[in-house]
Structure 1
């Protein structure tokens, strides 16, 4: 199975069974898909604002699982802005918290967006290895 097929399988499983109903490899890929799509399109603000943010709490763990430790660290810094529990899984609660965070930390979030989109880890290579080992 190639990376695209593994992502597709993971996203279909996620859509039909929900995050808590799928296996670890599917959680990892579904989360990475969401994080990359949102952060590349509109930054961490967008990730947390949109429904993809429902699984943002898992983002650093997912990136670490494939070996993208630098990107996981950047992501963890964004998650930490929500406090010890990270971003709420409930969108309304998360958006309310995000509005307060964005006002105080806009420049910092922009810096994290830039660092993430510079891809300090070779995510394609790491994903290839992860897919080969888990699918």
Structure 2
């Protein structure tokens, strides 16, 4: 049986997430709501055949929301990971945006654009959204690798 859950800001684990509950955080974006709740969230899906997908969002006041998509096949130790592309020229500038959350500075999007990824994840969690650009984490110059 498939499983969909969410850990978002300061809310309890949501074992039956409703898309409309999360819409307000993106479509009526207020940094104070995000900062009060820790600034991040993880939407997780496990399919009937064991595929695991995650969509992670990280807010940074003044920059917007960074989105990361992960997908791993059943039984695999490693999957694929992609970051949203907001500013391509900053994708190799990886910084700590709070609590040891290292992400490309160019991965931040306007909240309404980040919402598209969340909306698409709810409808097709085993596919990354086609309504924005993505860059594989293997193509990013991480501080410990470059």
Smaller-chain TM-score range?
under 0.3
Report the TM-score when normalising by structure 1. 0.28
Higher RCO, Cα 8 Å, sep 6+: 1
The structure where strand makes up a greater share of residues is 2
The structure where helix makes up a greater share of residues is 1
Report the TM-score when normalising by structure 2. 0.26
